[in-house]
Amino acid sequence: MSRATLVAGFIAGALFSTAVGAQTTVTDHLKCYKIKDSLKLAALVDLNSPQFGLEAGCKVSAAKLFCVPVTKAVREAVNKATKQPIVPQPVSGPDPGDRLCYRVKCPNSVIPDQLVTDQFGTRTVQKFKAFMLCTPAVKGAAVTTTTTTLPCAGPGPACNGSCPAGQSCELTRGGCACVTPPVLCGTKPACGGTCPSGTTCTPSPETNDCICTSAF
């Protein structure tokens, strides 16, 4: 093995370790389990998205997956075709948002039957088996920037610097801090939009929007 190959391998390994260590614990992944649904559903729905348009007359049958939010820390990744290590990229995304779903196999774990409720009713789902991992995705190439490496700082109101993906450097009562923008769910007074689990759609005290806020 040549010295150049050894150096290239060392650099790739160092980059991989750095990328793994720099990962944030953002719960924007979904771990999906294959399940047995006790509801014998037969429904017809129209599905419409800004990206792909209207798909009318879609048939819906019994649920096959139960997905829960998770964080992910990459221990190792490799391209099986080239045998080269894959350096994780800092791609995160909103919920809901685009996702790529990968087949996943985990060590066996016992998950009890779960009583769940959705638009089609309340029932018990059974026989959980890890099946897919859905990661945030963006269309096109990942956006990278090297314009600033400063942490979020400043005496205010001129807060500047970098923050984790999905956050911005804003002035708070304690000074400059990385802040996650509130999830909008409508406009006053009709706050009836959809919110992530554990939050409710309520009027914003500062704007004419409705925002998702924790019930606690």
Q: What is the pLDDT of residue 150?
A: 57
Alpha helices (runs of H) in 52-195, residue ranges in sequence order: none
What is the predicted pLDDT for the residue at 103?
92
Q: Give the span between the Cα atoms of 12 and 184, in whole angstroms.
A: 41
pLDDT tens digits in sequence order for the chain, 216 residues long: 443 333 334 333 433 344 444 454 678 899 999 999 999 999 999 999 887 889 999 999 999 999 999 988 888 999 999 999 998 888 888 877 889 999 999 888 888 999 999 989 999 999 999 999 998 888 787 665 444 345 677 655 667 777 777 777 877 766 777 877 778 888 888 787 888 777 888 888 778 888 888 654
As a whole number of angstroms, the distance between CA 160 and CA 184 comes to 24
Buried b (16+ CB within 10 A) or exposed e, 159-181: beeebeeebebbeeeeebbbeee
The confidence score (pLDDT) of residue 156 equals 56
Tokens of 143: 């956006």
